[in-house]
Chain A
Amino acid sequence: DIQMTQSPSTLSASVGDRVTITCRASDNVNEFLAWYQQKPGGAPKVLIFQASTLQSGVPARFSGSGSGTEFTLTISRLQPDDFATYYCQQYSGASTFGQGTKVEIK
């Protein structure tokens, strides 16, 4: 299986900050990469698919980039609602997820 590694595992930031999360794949996944946001007790919510396509209804401050084995999720100006855990998922082969990045209030 393809292993997904996110960094950092925890990120402390303030409202208005620009935030970047990295996801690395152990093998080439082309652009078959999605990003999710999950809040405590809630279901994951897709933000980005196909590495850079914004899911309908997701604010434009979220963006994704990358291909192959290295990907990034960027939040341009962090809002109070964005404090959550973020996961990447590859779906090039049997789906696997990153270990998560918790974005917490500084």
Chain B
Amino acid sequence: QLQLVESGGGLAKPGGSLRLSCSASGFIFNNHYMSWVRQAPGKRLEWLAYISGRSTFDNYADSVRGRFTISRDNAKNLVFLQLDNLTADDTAIYFCARDPRVGAAGFYYFDLWGRGTLVTVSS
């Protein structure tokens, strides 16, 4: 069954860190670029980062470059997002999402999403 399930969210202090995980099932994981997208309360969706199937390429939104790091473990069908130096503006639901293409590069739409994990940054 095609599925993405995020975990690792929670409460963090300003300046703190969290590591989010996304577990994939039902498809050949290493064939697909994976992205993280977030949605702050009452705000629009914001793409954050993507990583290629073999971890050869990654790309970040300007708003998180240098603070967030995307990675993946294809043996375990997991994609991660390391969140460092957190601020209150990072409070959001974080989704992982799949690019539907096999082996293609660059930006695209997302055909599979998880239900998200909530990150709250507060002192």
A residues 16-44 in Cβ contact with B at 8 Å: 32, 34, 36, 41-44
Which residue of the partner chain, among A1, A32, A55, contacts B111 with CB atoms under 8 Å?
A: A55
User: What residue of chain B has the Cβ atom nearest to residue A33's Cβ?
Assistant: B109
A58-95 interface code vs B (CB 8 A; 1 in, 0 out):
00000000000000000000000000000101011111
A1 to B109, CA, bound (A): 16
Min distance, Cβ B74 to any Cβ of chain A, angstroms: 23
How many angstroms between the C-alpha atoms of A104 and B94 in the bound complex?
Answer: 25
**Chain A residues with Cβ under 8 A from B111's Cβ?**
46, 49, 55
Q: How far is the CA of A99 from the CA of B57 in the complex (A)?
A: 29
Interface residues of B in 42-68 (CB under 8 A from A): 43-47, 59, 61-62
Tell which of A32, A44, A93 touches B45, judged by Cβ atoms closer than 8 Å. A44
The docked-state distance in angstroms from the alpha carbon of A85 to that of B59 is 28
Assembly CA distance A42 to B86 (angstroms)? 25
Report if A43-B45 is in contact (Cβ < 8 Å); known contacts: A34-B109, A55-B111, A91-B108: no
Q: Do B113 and A45 have beta carbons less than 8 Å apart?
A: yes
Q: What secondary structure prevails in chain A residues at the interface with B? A: loop
Among B43, B95, B108, B114, the one with the most A-chain Cβ atoms within 10 Å of its Cβ is B108
User: Do residues B109 and A49 form an inter-chain contact, with CB atoms below 8 A?
Assistant: yes
Neighbour of A89 across the interface among B43, B109, B114, CB < 8 A: B109
Contact residues in A for B59 (Cβ distance below 8 Å): 94
> CB distance A98 to B108 under 8 Å?
no
**Chain A: which residue is nearest B4 at the CB level?**
A43
Q: Could you list 11 further interchain pairs (A-B, Cβ under 8 angstroms) beyond the known A34-B110, A41-B115, A42-B115?
A: A32-B107, A36-B45, A44-B110, A46-B111, A87-B45, A89-B45, A91-B107, A91-B108, A94-B47, A99-B43, A99-B44
| Top 5 A-B residue pairs of the complex, sorted by shortest distance between their CB atoms | A34-B109, A43-B113, A95-B47, A97-B45, A91-B107
